[in-house]
Structures are given as C-alpha cells and as structure tokens.
A and B are shown apart, each in its own frame.
Chain A
Amino acid sequence: GQNIDQPTEMTATEGAIVQINCTYQTSGFNGLFWYQQHAGEAPTFLSYNVLDGLEEKGRFSSFLSRSKGYSYLLLKELQMKDSASYLCAALTKAAGNKLTFGGGTRVLVKP
C-alpha cells in the first residue's frame, strides 16, 4: 500500500520560516505534490517535484529526495494568511497513477 506521513500541526511566528516534512513509502513513485487548504475552502496547488532537488517559487520552496522517500515544503517570511493546512500527496504507478494524500499539516501563524 501507500504510506504518507506528515506532522499534524505546527506553530510559527509571523516573519519566520517553517519547514513541513513529508515522508512516503510507495512503489512506482511518479512525483510529489504540495497543496494548501484554507479552512472551509478547497485545496489549491502549490508545487510539484519529480526530480531530486529544490524548487523555489517566491516565498515557498519544495524539496524532494527520491532515494530517501522524503520531501519538505519551506515557507519563508511567514504571513498571517499562510495559516492553513498543507497537504502532501504522492503520485504512484502502483496506485494506478492517482494521487494519494497525507493527512495534512495544520500551520498556525502567530503575530
């Protein structure tokens, strides 16, 4: 089966940096997605990594290590509006090329 783990909650201060880790155990790995979901809203796409390394998009960066089954999402210069859940999802051939989501990490940004 597919196993995706991420912390349940994290708290950080406005202006700081937070790193959300995600580990996965899958077969036929085809890529790793991060989504942001504000309370009461649908998830929105943040990033997609299929090769090892760091992808940077403004204040958000995502890292992937395929050999370690590990990814992280880095949020820099935190703003209050970044308070949301962050969902890690793996795309795997073994799962019929569909996305399998982790339980999400709730990030609370405090002033």
Chain B
Amino acid sequence: GAGVSQSPSNKVTEKGKDVELRCDPISGHTALYWYRQRLGQGLEFLIYFQGNSAPDKSGLPSDRFSAERTGESVSTLTIQRTQQEDSAVYLCASSLLNRQGATLNEQFFGPGTRLTVL
C-alpha cells in the first residue's frame, strides 16, 4: 500500500515569505508527527497529533510555526515569515495507536521536505 507522502520534496524560498508543507499519512493511522532535521543533526520533535486529542505542540520553536490536521488525514505545517535558520528537512511520520493511545510499533516516515531559506 501507499506510504507516507510529503509535498513538496524541495522548497526554496526567500527570507520573510510564508511556506506550507503537506503530509499525507498512511490511511488509518491516527497518530501523526512532524519533525525537523538540520544537516547532520538528530530529529527535533515539532508537533504530534494523536487521534482526536488536542495536539501536542510543545516542540514548535516559535509562534511562526503552526500545524493543522483534518480529521485523521492530511496535515499541513505552516512557517510564517521564514528565517534562514528554518532551513532544514521537515519529516512527517504516522503510526497506529493502541487502545491506551500509545504509538503502536513503528512510525512510518515520509521522504521529507527540504526547505531552503535564502
């Protein structure tokens, strides 16, 4: 079946512009994560959508970052007034949840969106 998809795969923008990144999770996956990964660095957690619960936004670095998810499907990550330090790969992952609401087994990652802010 189809995996997690993300678009665009690459985005080059000018400082100060807004960008919108899209993630299509695997159908039926109720948990969805956004991460940021700078070159040569680990995964930095941004936001977590867990079923119908309120999203965990504790990882968003500033109020320029926001994300939405429509039901259990598509999610968009929006970065307003982009800065050069926002340049990174933005990864989306989805997973099933067990009855206790915990991530079941593995997260499936999308290919990422490489954002370059000039």
Contact = CB atoms under 8 A, between A and B. Distances in A.
Interface residues of B, number: 24
Contacts of B109: 42-44
B83 interface: no
Contact of A100 (B45, B91, B111): B45
- Summarize A's interface: helix, strand, loop or mixed: strand
B103 A98 contact: yes
A97 B100 contact: yes
Interface string B62-79: 000000000000000000
B9 to A, nearest CB: 11
Interface residues of A, number: 21
Contacts of B50: 96-98
Interface of B: 31, 33, 35, 41-43, 45, 48, 50, 56, 91, 97, 100-103, 105-112
Interface of A: 30-31, 33, 41-45, 48, 87, 91, 93, 96-104
